[in-house]
Amino acid sequence: MAMGFFLVHAGFLAYSAFFQGEGYLFLTNAFLYRTVIRFSKSLFFLRTCYFFLKHAAYFLDLSSFRKLHPAQKPYELYIMHKYA
């Protein structure tokens, strides 16, 4: 993973150095990509937390599990209830 990261950004450095003549663009690209990746990871984490907080009443309602067929998953019951 680290080697792939190194090779990809070394490619960007070579491209910006030889075809554009400005090697410092590599630093800007690396900073922007790192920032975008961190932001997308944190956004995914926050959206996941929001989903579980929003539906916490369902997930913590243990009495609803008694209505399940043994082959059903708890989340399938939630889908059937939401879109029925």
- Interval 48-62: pLDDT, tens: 888 887 777 666 665
Nearest 10 degrees: CA dihedral of 46, 34, 20, 8?
Answer: -110
SS3 content of the chain, % helix, strand, coil (to 5): 80, 0, 20
Measured in degrees and rounded to the nearest 5, phi and psi for residue 39 equal -65, -40
Give the Cβ contact number of residue 15 at 10 Å: 14
The total number of structural domains that make up the chain: 1
Q: What six digits make up the tokens of 63?
A: 């009495």
Task: Compare 35 and 1 and report the one with higher pLDDT.
Answer: 35
Domain hosting 57: range is: 2-83
pTM of the model: 0.32
pLDDT one-digit tens code per residue, 20-77: 555 555 556 677 777 777 788 888 888 888 888 777 766 666 555 556 555 666 666 6
> Which pLDDT score, from 0 to 100, does residue 75 have?
67
